[in-house]
Structure 1
């Protein structure tokens, strides 16, 4: 697990199957290694959530912290996709073209139902050895 402090950090629900799928997607497409990850259940994830006004015991949002600030919900998703570059920038622009109230309503609805629809793991994802520097403790 990484202790470096540079780069953007994504705080995600480590036991959520959907959220882990998002992280697998990012590990695959983030070829520059721009994003690092912390689970909401980890000490670093809980600290980041608290620092940015989110309840670490009732997280309905994932958090992106980058050089420009802290982002949640679909704003965070849009920034992450934009940061991947290439065609993902077009996807980000399309997402962010939808009014925030509407897109965030859909995000929150999915977040509230994520365990029921996609499942829940008994424990947080364990990074592969090659991924260890991408995950905070």
Structure 2
């Protein structure tokens, strides 16, 4: 397993982000698991992390990244100019995360949510754990 992105499976913004990442990750570096599913929760256990739906989580090389750190680490591996966003890593997380948290708190209101986790398409099914 290379890297796993744990996401809120009922959030429209999060599902859109997963589709965005898949399109820019043709080498399938990332796998995905909804936080609501047992597999997502199981992957968090070794980190003694409480389940929170307010953050995307990246598990890569035995490390756990959350919030803006996860988003920037993900961008680092995407094709195209998205890699350039990694430069914002120089900004301390206590300055980056408030914006991330604001969007996370309002994502259902702005983008809506589904009643259940998204179902991967036939082409992307192998990317989901």
Q: How does the TM-score come out when normalised to structure 2?
A: 0.91
Query: Matches of 2:62 and 2:44 in 1, distance apart?
Result: 16
CA contact 1:63–1:73 (8 Å) conserved in 2 = yes
Does the alignment pair 1:63 with 2:57?
A: yes
Structure 1: 5+ residue stretches without partners = 1-5
Match for residue 119 of structure 1 among 104, 112, 129:
112
Secondary structure at 1:59's aligned position in 2? Answer: coil
Counterpart mapping for 1:47-86 below 5 A: 47-56=42-51, 58-67=52-61, 69-86=63-80
Which residue is 2:25 aligned to? Answer: 30
Structure 2: 5+ residue stretches without partners = none
Q: Measure how far apart 1:120 and its partner are.
A: 0.6
Which residue is 1:3 aligned to? Answer: none
Structure 1: 4+ residue segments shifted above 6 A = none
Query: Matches of 1:109 and 1:123 in 2, distance apart?
Result: 24
Higher relative contact order, structure no. (Cα contacts within 8 Å, ≥ 6 residues apart): 1
Number of residue pairs the alignment of both structures matches:
129
Secondary structure at 1:36's aligned position in 2? Answer: strand
Secondary structure at 2:124's aligned position in 1? Answer: helix
Q: Indicate the larger mover: 61-70 or 33-42.
A: 61-70
Q: Measure how far apart 1:86 and its partner are.
A: 3.9
Query: Matches of 1:134 and 1:112 in 2, distance apart?
Result: 27
Which residue is 1:107 aligned to? Answer: 100
